[in-house]
Amino acid sequence: MIINSTEYLKKNTEAAPLAVFRIFFGIMMLISIIRFWSYGWIDKLYIQPKFFFSYYGFEWVKPLGIYTYVIFILCGVSTIFITLGYQYRIAIITFFLSFTYIELLDKTTYLNHYYFISLLSFILIFLPANAYYSLDAKIKGVSYQSIPSWTIDALKLLLGIVYFYAGLAKLNSDWLIKAMPLKIWLPSKYDVPLLGELMQQEWMHYLFSYSGMIYDLTIPLLLLYRKTRPFAFILVVVFHVLTRVLFPIGMFPYIMIVSTLVFFDSGFHHKVLRNISKIFKINKAQFDTDKVLEIIPQKNKILFTTLILFFVIQFLFPFRYLLYPGELFWTEEGYRFSWRVMLMEKAGYANFKIVDGETKKRFYVDNDDFLTVFQQKQMATQPDFILEYAQYLKKHFENQGHQNVQVFVESYVALNGRLSTPYIDPQIDLGKQKESFKHKKWIIPFNDEIKGL
């Protein structure tokens, strides 16, 4: 298949799409941060909670109290620099680090789209997004109108992976045969104008399930081909606007709509830049230099190795769940970081019992004493959360002077409308268990079967 990779790497294209992408990315991120802040979520999610759920291996990432705001300021300011293309490399690195740091603070707030932003900003570090139509180019007096094609293709590839894998994840019996979880979610949207009544209809649940799946699987290709592109873009807008109307997914739909513009020809992007130039009185001509930016593979081994490694990981990582026994939706071992977006409805309840191993004296924990409602909700359905919280409880009660502390949990989880069943083995002292990437044997196996990927 690889006809000539060196030839491909030498291929050039207009830099305008990447410049437009950089500008829009910066603006969208700035809006996201301002929105996040204005809703009071920094305080609510990162300052108020007493306890934070860490990612395995990233326990050292902790909120900095009131200084957490500083990270957000840093992140926000970097988006402005990115938009302007000023000190771009430093700005995008700052953005990547600060944004990722924020996401690592508490896995309660994990969202696929935050992960997507982290990945996107990571590869943007390696792309010459400031080569054209940027303050950097203006100040240096060197603007490159052409850049290697692969730089833009890398973005398309990442977007393609997100969609395609999200589509693959939908190839399961709950989604396709039972129309779950849409059969639960859609009827509750009875108040959506015009569509509300339809949301009660079973055929609509199937229509949405199947069209969602087909959309995710095919949209990367439809966007890639010039002939289908305008139609594909209409689909993108309809799809994301619908998801925005139906689900509380914040900025994600807009970010995706704007991101897919990168698939368009450079003619479109030049038009966008001309309009921006008109509004802000920028002399666009100064950037149109016919200069070609060359990135020679032999001289940039680290860059190419990093990117290739990055994509290999992206291709393989979502399949790591195959290494675990049991139903993925139930155990969630290998669930995150795999583009399983809006894929299942899971609710749980976890009641922790502290037992003195000697005297057998016991009492239950009031989760409200330690966790926010949001944290409790996330904790109750995910074994790694349950374990981390149990360990925390053990330490907490030991510090309070309790002896021989054992931690047990009575927990129930309901998945995609099935009746709730016990989730974690209530006989297991979670205080003795260790977190690892190995299968957690104390998860009670799922008592049903979900076929498919």
Partner 1 sequence: MMVRKSVFSVIALVFFMLGCSSDNNTNDEGANGGKDSFDRKALLTNIADNIAIPAYQKFSEDITALKASTSNFVTTANASNLVALRQSWITAYTSWQSVGMFQIGKAEELSLRNFMNVYPVTVSDIESNVTSGSYDLTSVTKQDEQGFGALDYLLNGLSDTDAGIVEFYTTNPNASGYKKYISDLVNRMDDLTKQVLADWKNGYRDTFVNNNGSSATSSLDKIVNDFIFHYEKHFRAAKIGIPAGVFSGTPLDTKVEAFYKKDVSKALFNTSLTALQDFFNGKHFASTTTGESLKTYLDFLNTIKNGENLSLLINNQFEASKKKAASLDNDLSNQVRSNNTLMLETYEELQKNVVLLKVDMLQAISVSVDYVDADGD
Q: Which 351-380 positions form the footprint of partner 1 (CB under 8 A)?
A: 351, 354, 361-366, 372-374, 376-377
Q: Is 342 in the site for partner 1 (CB under 8 A)?
A: yes
Q: Which is nearer to partner 1, 10 or 244 (CB)?
A: 244
Q: Which is nearer to partner 1, 88 or 269 (CB)?
A: 269
Per CB under 8 A, contacts with partner 1 among 313-332 are none
Quote the least distance from Cβ 320 to partner 1, whole Å: 19
CA–CA separation, 184 and 295 (whole Å): 51
Q: What 8-state DSSP symbol labels residue 86?
A: S
Task: Identify whether the C-beta of residue 423 lies closer than 8 Å to the C-beta of residue 443.
Answer: yes
- Binding-site size for partner 1 (CB under 8 A) equals 71
Contact letters (x/-) for partner 1, 74-113, by CB under 8 A?
Answer: -----------------------------------x-xxx
Q: Which is nearer to partner 1, 185 or 324 (CB)?
A: 185
Per CB under 8 A, contacts with partner 1 among 201-220 are 201-203, 205
Segment contacting partner 1 by CB under 8 A, of 1-9, 149-157, 220-228, 345-353:
345-353
Q: Is 349 in the site for partner 1 (CB under 8 A)?
A: yes
Output the CA–CA distances (angstroms, integers) from residue 9 to 151, 154, 156, in the order listed: 9, 12, 15
Q: Which is nearer to partner 1, 46 or 144 (CB)?
A: 46
Task: Identify whether the C-beta of residue 114 lies closer than 8 Å to the C-beta of residue 101.
Answer: no
Q: What 8-state DSSP symbol labels residue 326?
A: S
CA–CA separation, 115 and 254 (whole Å): 16
Q: Which is nearer to partner 1, 197 or 294 (CB)?
A: 197
Q: Which of 61, 184, 217, 276 binds partner 1 (CB under 8 A)?
A: 184
Q: Which is nearer to partner 1, 173 or 275 (CB)?
A: 275
Q: Is 194 in the site for partner 1 (CB under 8 A)?
A: yes
Q: Which is nearer to partner 1, 271 or 441 (CB)?
A: 271
Q: What residue type is 200 in one-letter code?
A: Q
Q: Is 191 in the site for partner 1 (CB under 8 A)?
A: yes
CA–CA separation, 117 and 249 (whole Å): 14
CA–CA separation, 24 and 276 (whole Å): 11
Closest by CA position to 288, among listed 137, 140, 153: 137
The residue behind tokens 């969208």 is 28
417 forms beta bridges with none
Q: Which of 414, 425, 433, 435 binds partner 1 (CB under 8 A)?
A: 414
Contact letters (x/-) for partner 1, 239-268, by CB under 8 A?
Answer: --x-----xxxxxx--------x--x---x
Residue 351 buriedness (CB in 10 A; 0-12 / 13-18 / 19+): middle
Quote the least distance from Cβ 287 to partner 1, whole Å: 20
Host H or E run for residue 392 = helix 383-399
160 token code pair: 């393609």
6 token code pair: 């060196």
Phi-psi region of 347 (alpha: psi -120 to 50; beta: other; left: phi over 0): beta
Q: Which of 234, 296, 313, 323 binds partner 1 (CB under 8 A)?
A: 234
Quote the least distance from Cβ 64 to partner 1, whole Å: 20
Contacts 24+ apart (CB under 8 A), 3-12: 6/297, 8/149, 8/150, 9/148, 9/150, 9/295, 9/297, 10/148, 11/148, 11/149, 11/150, 12/146, 12/147, 12/148, 12/149, 12/292
Contact letters (x/-) for partner 1, 108-137, by CB under 8 A?
Answer: -x-xxx------------------------
Segment contacting partner 1 by CB under 8 A, of 90-98, 209-217, 348-356, 439-447:
348-356
Q: Is 275 in the site for partner 1 (CB under 8 A)?
A: yes
Contact letters (x/-) for partner 1, 419-438, by CB under 8 A?
Answer: xx------------------
Quote the least distance from Cβ 413 to partner 1, whole Å: 7
Q: Which of 27, 31, 125, 237 binds partner 1 (CB under 8 A)?
A: 237
Q: Is residue 79 classed as helix, strand or coil in its secondary structure? A: helix
Q: Which is nearer to partner 1, 59 or 366 (CB)?
A: 366
Task: Identify whether the C-beta of residue 24 lies closer than 8 Å to the C-beta of residue 261.
Answer: yes
Q: Is 271 in the site for partner 1 (CB under 8 A)?
A: yes
Work out whether the CA dihedral 6, 12, 17, 23 comes out positive or negative. Answer: positive
Q: Is 417 in the site for partner 1 (CB under 8 A)?
A: yes
Segment contacting partner 1 by CB under 8 A, of 64-72, 126-134, 136-144, 406-414:
406-414
Q: Which is nearer to partner 1, 123 or 199 (CB)?
A: 199
CA–CA separation, 410 and 427 (whole Å): 9
